[in-house]
Structure 1
């Protein structure tokens, strides 16, 4: 089982003493098939890191390990501060109203105020009493983001959070995530198949291949960004070449 320690970074487990997330030697196999083969990474406070790789490369597996959701993994994971997860599926409980879904697992006299504030931040101030079935796909995913935000995380773990949305809604959600990150200053690991999404949002990209991180690249572009930002195209071409994709923004 991977050792997961919330708290200060110490000793060999640290790849940087200012990291909020550090993974060292993370390994996971399924029936003898190695998916993660000694992965080591660090994420600094306020940094957005995009994790890219083909289907089956272990991206979602690594995120689950960092979130403490895979007891069969080995290695060491250190998380400093609170973390929250947003999955590709919103995972709202259909028998609970939107506000109750956001408040799930929380307690205290200020919970309702915090819920209303989080919903307002994602543009859903008027949907607290709605049922999940009454929401569009984009609205449901915004509720999932609000559910993560209300926990005031230092680290947000995002597993292809916009992959199931249509193109226009996806662009709006990317803009929302960028704005929320700027306002709250949380660090994030973004698992994505979309190279453009990675370059729009991340400070750094990692490529996972053969169970290992095989490339790490900075994204030296100021925010806000767009695909026509100078330098964006060169970074995009490099990542696509590294991923073995002859063209297009998605793969895997």
Structure 2
């Protein structure tokens, strides 16, 4: 039986793959994906489960795949694209001199975050979230459609959303401009209307501020970990905004008047 797959490799890369028969195991499927899509590195698979509103589930048995066609999400084991946070130790390791070539793949992973592109995706593709958060947001969307009432965004939900989005942003560029960041916030409430903020504004002003702060904090984390490209880009940004130098304040000029006294003979 043939199987049509949509394979989501990253937030900006998805492939269509037609298999003429269903693989015998998950391991066989992974091997086929590596060969057909020329993928390198270790990863696990998740699939969109139609029984749970297309929420992501880990693929542990090939029989769990929907028949005829399915959407697969690759979760990289050694790449930060699939992690909610990037460890400082791994970044620091990737930044050292690679004299024997053993760190080439790690360095390449870090550089993927720092590359720039002339093509900013519109609408911005909001990356998949963890299963429990996706489920809460999907239920929140259903409630919002009936009552126009958003959900109570807990700190855990907010951190999950911001972490995943920042990872996806850095896969495209390290320094998105204000319009590009706003497109992220707009895409977020478009995908999850239950996150829309009440009031007369656009509904994402708070998310916009949080995204900017998260991006700044993440760049600081990368610089502290020794990622030179972020440091270089920061210096360039500072110069462009007139912050590349500091002016020393001139010392206040002050004169001391010492009256000359006449010498009195003894």
Larger radius of gyration: 2
Give the number of the structure with larger relative contact order, counting CA–CA contacts within 8 Å between residues 6 or more apart: 1
TM-score range, shorter chain: under 0.3
Determine which structure has the larger helix proportion and give its number: 2
Give the strand-richer structure, 1 or 2. Answer: 1
TM-score relative to the length of structure 1? 0.26
